[in-house]
């Protein structure tokens, strides 16, 4: 019976002094998760209700923020439950599901950024053909592929992992990322090659495509008017910052696992938290501040809220 339980359940070993700081951890993580949900949902709501934001660029931004919500939801609820539990455990199937969601949504992020880069390329480099190229059908196809392709490709390694023999049931982390591989007795060469192909498809190729499109945009803008340069900087800079930030965090995720034995436990915890914190919270803040039309509607939303509050105070 013990053997069955050991195979079925994994224990998270990435927490530091969870018994001592249980409620501090819980309330901090709850506040961060609430901020992520509220900020992302606010921008998505603005894009949904305002007709002048019903353009491909803003649809891609809304999809990116929705992806951040899904990404956070795949991690934070279980994290909050663990912080209030006496034992931080997870069933092996649930762990594999979280692993699949974490990396498939991460792959969707790269593909959505690639779609956004293509949209900006067509808008700036081929403005006369923009309406015929970036149709509603094209946008829908890009969005569907961005979520379907990574999910299908990640289903293959996840399925194989489910049947691999485990030599330990202690997961050195606080959620199921690629630390799951550390549980396996043997890591085959075939598995490494398979994972590299998936990484190439959902991350490296999209990044190279994005760099290519932005290089073309820079070349076009170099000899253009100040207005074209301003438009390019206003719309492309946030996307480029998001790409750099997310790429660094993904690299971080690989490094944390590869060098986990070289870091103290508290450092590993801090580094892991950065992977799930910065990006989902950074996206809506950047787009809310840097995208002119979104920023304008955001200011109007808060101003309207203050005016209603003042009106209700004057007329109880």
The phi, psi pair for 132, rounded to 5°, reads -85, -25
- Which CATH number does the domain housing residue 245 bear? 1.20.1070.10
Would you say residue 5 has pLDDT above 50? Answer: no
* Residue 51 resides in a domain: yes
* Residue 5 resides in a domain: no
Q: How far, in Å, are 123, 234, 291, 298 from residue 225 at the CA level?
A: 15, 14, 20, 29
Would you say residue 315 has pLDDT above 60? Answer: no
pLDDT of residue 181: 83
* Residue 7 resides in a domain: no
| Among candidate residues 38, 43, 77, the one with its CA nearest the CA of residue 61 | 43
* Residue 4 resides in a domain: no
pLDDT of residue 272: 78
Query: Is the Cβ–Cβ distance between 156 and 118 less than 8 Å?
Result: no
Q: Which helix H or strand E contains 91, and what residues bound it?
A: strand 89-91
* Residue 250 resides in a domain: yes
Q: Which domain holds residue 115?
A: 16-314
- pLDDT tens digits along 179-215: 888 888 877 777 778 888 888 888 889 999 998 998 8
* Residue 11 resides in a domain: no
Total number of residues shown for the chain: 316
Residue 18, helix vs strand vs coil: coil
Query: Is the Cβ–Cβ distance between 86 and 182 less than 8 Å?
Result: no
pLDDT-derived band at 37 (thresholds 50, 70, 90) equals very high
Q: Indicate the number of domains in the chain.
A: 1
* Residue 46 resides in a domain: yes
Would you say residue 125 has pLDDT above 60? Answer: yes
Determine how β-strand 89-91 pairs with β-strand 170-171: unpaired
H-assigned helices in 126-188: 130-133, 136-161
- pLDDT tens digits along 258-311: 665 566 778 778 777 877 888 888 888 887 777 777 888 888 877 765 545 543
Query: Is the Cβ–Cβ distance between 11 and 89 less than 8 Å?
Result: yes
* Residue 1 resides in a domain: no
Kindly report which listed range (61-70, 96-105, 194-203) carries the lowest average pLDDT score: 194-203
User: The pTM is what?
Assistant: 0.87
């Amino acid at each position: 019976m013990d053997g069955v339980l050991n195979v079925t359940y994994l224990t998270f070993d990435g927490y530091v002094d969870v018994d001592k700081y249980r409620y501090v951890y819980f309330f901090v993580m709850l506040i961060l998760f609430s901020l992520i949900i509220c900020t992302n949902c606010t921008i998505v709501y603005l894009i949904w209700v305002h007709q002048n934001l019903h353009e491909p660029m803003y649809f891609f931004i809304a999809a990116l923020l929705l992806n951040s919500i899904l990404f956070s939801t795949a991690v934070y609820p279980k994290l909050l439950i663990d912080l209030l539990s006496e034992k931080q455990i997870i069933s092996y199937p649930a762990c594999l599901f979280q692993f699949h969601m974490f990396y498939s949504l991460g792959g969707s992020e790269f593909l959505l950024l690639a779609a956004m880069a293509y949209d900006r390329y067509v808008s700036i480099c081929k403005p006369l053909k923009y309406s015929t190229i970036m149709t509603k059908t094209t946008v829908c196809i890009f969005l569907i592929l961005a979520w379907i392709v990574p999910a299908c490709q990640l289903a293959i390694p996840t399925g194989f992992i489910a049947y691999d023999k485990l030599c330990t049931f202690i997961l050195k982390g606080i959620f199921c990322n690629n630390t799951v591989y550390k549980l396996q007795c043997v890591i085959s060469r075939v598995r490494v090659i398979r994972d590299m192909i998936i990484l190439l498809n959902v991350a490296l190729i999209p990044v190279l495509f994005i760099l290519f499109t932005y290089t073309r945009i820079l070349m076009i803008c170099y000899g253009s008017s100040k207005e074209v340069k301003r438009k390019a900087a206003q719309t492309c800079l946030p996307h480029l910052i998001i790409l750099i930030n997310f790429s660094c965090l993904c690299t971080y995720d690989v490094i944390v696992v590869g060098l986990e034995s070289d870091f103290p436990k508290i450092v590993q915890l801090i580094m892991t938290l950065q992977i799930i914190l910065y990006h989902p919270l950074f996206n809506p803040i950047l787009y809310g501040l840097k995208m002119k039309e979104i920023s304008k509607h955001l200011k109007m939303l808060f101003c309207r809220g203050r005016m209603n509050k003042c009106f209700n105070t004057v007329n109880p």
